[in-house]
Structure 1
Amino acid sequence: MKLSPEKSVSLFFCIAAGVVLACAFDKTGAGFAAWFAPGLLLVGICRVSGRTAFLFGLLAGFVHYLLLLYWLVPTMHRYGPMSVWLSFFALLLLAFYLALYTGVFAWAVTLVPVRPVFLVVWVPVCWVALEYAKTFLFTGFPWGLAGYSQYRYPVLIQSADLFGVYGVSFFVCAVSAGLFLFFMHLFHGRWQNRLVGQGAAVAGLLITAGLFFANGGYGMFRLSEQDAAGKPSSQLRVSVIQANIEQSLKWDDAYVEAILDKYIRLSLSAAEKQPDLVVWPETAVPFYFFNDAKRTRRVLDMAERMKKPLLAGAPAYERREDSGGLDLFNSAYLIDHRGRVKGRYDKVHLVPFGEYVPLKKWLPFVGKIVPETGDFSSGRPGRLLSAGNADMGVQICYEIIFPHLSAAMVRAGADILVNITNDAWFGNTSAPFQHFSMAVFRAVENRRPVVRAANTGISGFIDPAGRIRASSAVFQTTSLTRDVAPAEGKVGFYTRYPHLLPGFCSAAALVFLLAGLRKGLRTRRAS
């Protein structure tokens, strides 16, 4: 099919939107690119029908997610039973699914016949509603939300304590829509047969400037407020251990002793800095705790030898009383300074096709991408672990990408958020940086410090304002020690109402879409 020159230009802008948005999440730190991506997509769909807008949006999203999630191919090929071509096909399927949200966004913004100036509100409302849907549908995959692209700009993300990462996504999309109006006026462009006049362009610029002023002003106020608060009354000194264990060796029984030796050596060295807590990453203990008595004893004895509490990631199991079968868990054990287990947190939100197979009863032919990890069960939500003067909300790996899970931990009484993870799967790609950026937002949203221990990086410490106080390089063997201040029980607005803004955007989008569909149906009947 031959495309008209006009549609060819539209396709170019849609593809450019996908590429530019992907650049905002690259490890180069070009987060400002996100301010232009939605606007480029608007240029691409400004003069097409709703059906064509959906297809163009689907293309933009497909390009974006292919570039954003490219690291899935080497991950699935190297550590899963999948060929390169099958891994690439799986990436195509996931990118297509996620691109459907972008396609629906493009369709939605063209369906409702708003005046150009109202795009500054309508665009972010639709975008946030679909990000919220992406967080929950089919177990949820809120990876690469627009707001995360801003994690390197502390001043611009402080409003996350009011509306979460969704609020920052709203800000990014509103700014992009305002810039779109200005440039469309400069080039005498139209939005759905409406000329973008001078008034709309001026209004777009004023709204954009107002958003920057309000968001930036609030950010500077909150940062200065925290800096003026001075030294907190109590602090917890924490050491995180990044042993940098190669994933292909991690579950090889021949290397277990060497892995334990490395963790013990790094921990004893860190203990010289007198930490109140030592943290090991997810599944740092590469065997089922208590199943191997001798090796378990080595870990317990090390905590007693350090005379420091240890939080260590390890798989766990429980025997069912009714059937005698086993429930397996991806867990974190808290071991006190006397070598006694004082508590255990079991991962609640598991990785589909990585830690379990959804609908396994009906899909017996589908296996896990990474078979070595076991078929885990979900733990009990809201379980805190206490170390010294702090109640810790532990988030294992994938859980940190879900804003409402961290908020629930803080509402339950968590003073500190601890994220333990194993990002060795991702290699030297953008994925560890993308994953780390989400931990920054959990700190700001809940005004809690985040301690992060990763097997191969990025490990680090994030203060309640989202500032990265210390971090490790990827694939570096190291330990980091820093004082963190447990929060004093105050729960902020977002933590109390994490679903307020995205829920409002979802309801508003649904109402206006239904109105747009009804009006379109009446028009077709009349014609």
Structure 2
Amino acid sequence: MTATAVPTDASEQTAPQPGPDTRAERLKRRLVPAGAAVLSGVLLYLSFAPRELWWLAPFAFALLGSVLHGRRPRAGFGLGMLMGLGYFLPLLSFTGVDVGPVPWIALAVAESVFLGLSGLGIALVSRLPVWPVWAGGVWIVGEAARARFPFEGFPWGKVAFSQPDGLFLPLAALGGTPLLGFAVVLCGFGLGDVVRRLVADRHARDRALVTSAALALAPVVAGAAATPLVSTAAEHGTATVAVIQGNVPRMGLDFNAQRRAVLDHHVRETLRLAAEVRAGKMKQPDLVLWPENSSDIDPYTNADAHAVIDKAAKAIGAPVSVGAVVTAEDGKPRNRQILWDPRTGPGAVYDKRHLQPFGEYMPYRGFFRLFSSDVDRAGVFEPGDDPVVFDMAGTGIGPVTCYEAAFDDVVRDQVREGAEILSVPSNNATFERSQMTYQQLAIDRVRAVEHGRAVMVPVTSGVSAVIRPDGTIAQRTGMFTAESLVADVPKRSSLTPATRVGAWPELVLALVGAAGVGWVIARRRTGSAG
């Protein structure tokens, strides 16, 4: 008897087995996420000044969230590190302008470690319900940590500082830079999760998709709702403020070699402005602001420096805030702002409190000298202790010296102390024509909105500026020019919600991130115990 073959239904046929996992496929699975992580960092960098591409920041986090979702913690750390390198290497390139690539690369790598840890945490919480919220909190934990450690922290590059032109900016007045940064990150992670779900199932309409879409949209709506918090009203009239940019004889670290020339430049520009005032070409200022390091010759101990500063103050007929390098009563150097009265001379002082490590002081000098002899070019300054507000012709001026503007607490302290106008005297000549001065100007603009204060930015070599309380720039100078800005500036004393609540938004958001990580750990322990 002959057997007859029975046709088998196609549905019953054995499905073809996948071929062996080739080395090329394994390499692709690694390189694609790695490349996407680097690209997310580059996109975040491009959202920063001098470009006005703030809207790239949410897309950077959308890409990062898609890359990190569902990853193991170790992969999350590696991808976060790659994102950090794509971000910090170009953002901090100005730090190597005059000292070479080693300090720049070392700083970028060190900061990227924090982003690696953030990536680890984001990967952990990425499987939780409404994971973009937990992930946004994890990001704030990372920013809070690197703003404090090591060497008193380095908050440069906080996400909030990419947003002086953004739709989210009014949130700075509600919860400061932590809330502003969280809004950007949450929007990005929410957007990324929407795209991820649609790619997985283009017909998806489940509750999780709707939730992610709501999370992406909520920060935009919140930014619009917070807009009424941003006010430019002159609550106590206006003050006519002059900002002096005297310029420097040369760029780079060696600009200090001609310290007397720097002082003379600022005296000369002040005398020129005084002549224009007498001629009726410029309005008489109520007060005058000089930049940081405008007198690196101590006017307390050098009679000639004292004499020329006094001459300039008398000529302009207004109190002058002078940035000077001095030796304090304890014999230690200070980076100081001196309130110079045209009649009585030097008076109240503010000593810079947050000093720049590896610039104004050198931690572990002997150790770091093993890598570069440039460490011996760093200063030996001592920090100040307390906030100080200058009474300049009846106007409360709060000095925040250069690098300090990146620290939430320093700016907040000056406003709470009674500053009606903020001044950020700076010296950017060290960094030549790099993007650093524009990044710092963006920070100052965010601070204006955060605290509802006009911000004056006198810089030795530019860009000097007059910033309105809504963060817009009323006047600005060029770079490496001698110029003066004179403006009627609103005096304000009301406190924004952000100024009132202080560090609480950062603490709450960091607790959200910590709670998300804690939830994952607890679930894993419970699962293993079961």
State whether TM-score is above 0.5: yes
Which residue matches 1:237? 240
Cα displacement (A) at 1:441: 1.7
Which residue matches 1:171? 183
Identity %: 26
Q: Within 5 A, what are the aligned runs for 1:11-90?
A: 11-76=34-99, 87-90=100-103
Deviations 1:34-69 (A, max 9, x none): 011111112222243111111111111122111111
Matched, 1:327 2:337: no
Cα displacement (A) at 1:345: 1.0
Runs (4+) of structure 1 moved beyond 6 Å? 361-368
- When normalised by structure 1's length, the TM-score is 0.88
Return closer, same or farther for 1:5/1:47 CA change in 2, 3 Å cut-off.
farther
Which residue matches 2:117? 104
2:418 to 405, 410, 413: 413
Comparing 351-360 with 436-445, which one deviates more in the overlay? 351-360
* Higher Cα Rg, which structure: 2
Q: What is the aligned residue count?
A: 497
Q: Distance in 2 between matches of 1:159 and 1:48?
A: 31
Amino acid at match of 2:513: A
The answer to whether the Cα contact below 8 Å between 2:298 and 2:324 also exists between their aligned partners in 1 is yes
Return closer, same or farther for 1:247/1:312 CA change in 2, 3 Å cut-off.
farther
The answer to whether the Cα contact below 8 Å between 1:357 and 1:367 also exists between their aligned partners in 2 is no
Cα displacement (A) at 1:357: 2.0
Which residue matches 1:358? 363
Q: Distance in 2 between matches of 1:519 and 1:188?
A: 26
1:312 to 322, 336, 339: 322
Cα displacement (A) at 1:166: 1.2
- When normalised by structure 2's length, the TM-score is 0.88
Q: Distance in 2 between matches of 1:279 and 1:480?
A: 10
The answer to whether the Cα contact below 8 Å between 1:354 and 1:368 also exists between their aligned partners in 2 is no
The answer to whether the Cα contact below 8 Å between 1:50 and 1:111 also exists between their aligned partners in 2 is yes
Q: Distance in 2 between matches of 1:346 and 1:433?
A: 24
The answer to whether the Cα contact below 8 Å between 1:185 and 1:198 also exists between their aligned partners in 2 is no
The answer to whether the Cα contact below 8 Å between 2:125 and 2:135 also exists between their aligned partners in 1 is no
The answer to whether the Cα contact below 8 Å between 2:98 and 2:430 also exists between their aligned partners in 1 is yes
Q: Distance in 2 between matches of 1:425 and 1:203?
A: 48
Q: Within 5 A, what are the aligned runs for 1:188-207?
A: 188=200, 198-207=206-215
Which residue matches 1:492? 496
Amino acid at match of 1:25: F
Amino acid at match of 2:338: Y
The answer to whether the Cα contact below 8 Å between 2:236 and 2:491 also exists between their aligned partners in 1 is no
The answer to whether the Cα contact below 8 Å between 2:168 and 2:219 also exists between their aligned partners in 1 is no
Q: Distance in 1 between matches of 2:154 and 2:236?
A: 39
Which residue matches 2:18? none
The answer to whether the Cα contact below 8 Å between 1:242 and 1:280 also exists between their aligned partners in 2 is yes
Cα displacement (A) at 1:404: 1.2
Comparing 102-111 with 327-336, which one deviates more in the overlay? 102-111
Amino acid at match of 2:324: A
Amino acid at match of 1:509: G
Return closer, same or farther for 1:359/1:170 CA change in 2, 3 Å cut-off.
same
Matched, 1:185 2:197: yes
Return closer, same or farther for 1:259/1:102 CA change in 2, 3 Å cut-off.
closer
Which residue matches 1:151? 164
Q: Distance in 2 between matches of 1:236 and 1:370?
A: 42
The answer to whether the Cα contact below 8 Å between 1:242 and 1:455 also exists between their aligned partners in 2 is yes
Cα displacement (A) at 1:74: 1.4
Return closer, same or farther for 1:361/1:9 CA change in 2, 3 Å cut-off.
closer
1:512 to 513, 516, 520: 516
Which residue matches 1:81? none
The answer to whether the Cα contact below 8 Å between 1:161 and 1:493 also exists between their aligned partners in 2 is yes
Cα displacement (A) at 1:217: 3.0
Q: Distance in 1 between matches of 2:70 and 2:127?
A: 14
The answer to whether the Cα contact below 8 Å between 2:125 and 2:134 also exists between their aligned partners in 1 is no
Matched, 1:293 2:334: no
Question: Any stretches of 5+ residues in structure 2 without a counterpart?
Answer: 1-22, 278-282
The answer to whether the Cα contact below 8 Å between 1:303 and 1:339 also exists between their aligned partners in 2 is no
Which residue matches 2:348? 343
Return closer, same or farther for 1:514/1:214 CA change in 2, 3 Å cut-off.
closer
Q: Distance in 2 between matches of 1:186 and 1:17?
A: 20
Amino acid at match of 1:210: A
Cα displacement (A) at 1:20: 0.7
Q: Secondary structure at the match of 1:483?
A: strand
Q: Distance in 2 between matches of 1:302 and 1:481?
A: 16
Q: Secondary structure at the match of 1:144?
A: coil
Which residue matches 1:270? 273
Amino acid at match of 1:108: G
Amino acid at match of 1:250: F
Which residue matches 1:217? 225
Comparing 407-416 with 468-477, which one deviates more in the overlay? 468-477
1:501 to 479, 486, 505: 505
Q: Secondary structure at the match of 1:391?
A: strand
Cα displacement (A) at 1:133: 1.3
CA RMSD of aligned residues (A): 2.5
Return closer, same or farther for 1:59/1:189 CA change in 2, 3 Å cut-off.
farther
The answer to whether the Cα contact below 8 Å between 2:186 and 2:216 also exists between their aligned partners in 1 is yes
Q: Distance in 1 between matches of 2:528 and 2:327?
A: 61
Cα displacement (A) at 1:476: 2.7
Cα displacement (A) at 1:455: 0.9
Q: Secondary structure at the match of 1:386?
A: strand
Return closer, same or farther for 1:423/1:159 CA change in 2, 3 Å cut-off.
same
Cα displacement (A) at 1:265: 2.5
Which residue matches 2:145? 133
Q: Secondary structure at the match of 2:200?
A: coil
Q: Distance in 2 between matches of 1:147 and 1:165?
A: 5
Cα displacement (A) at 1:522: 4.5
Cα displacement (A) at 1:429: 1.7
Cα displacement (A) at 1:329: 0.2
Q: Distance in 1 between matches of 2:126 and 2:190?
A: 17
Cα displacement (A) at 1:196: 7.7
Q: Secondary structure at the match of 1:404?
A: helix
Question: Any stretches of 5+ residues in structure 1 without a counterpart?
Answer: 77-86, 321-325
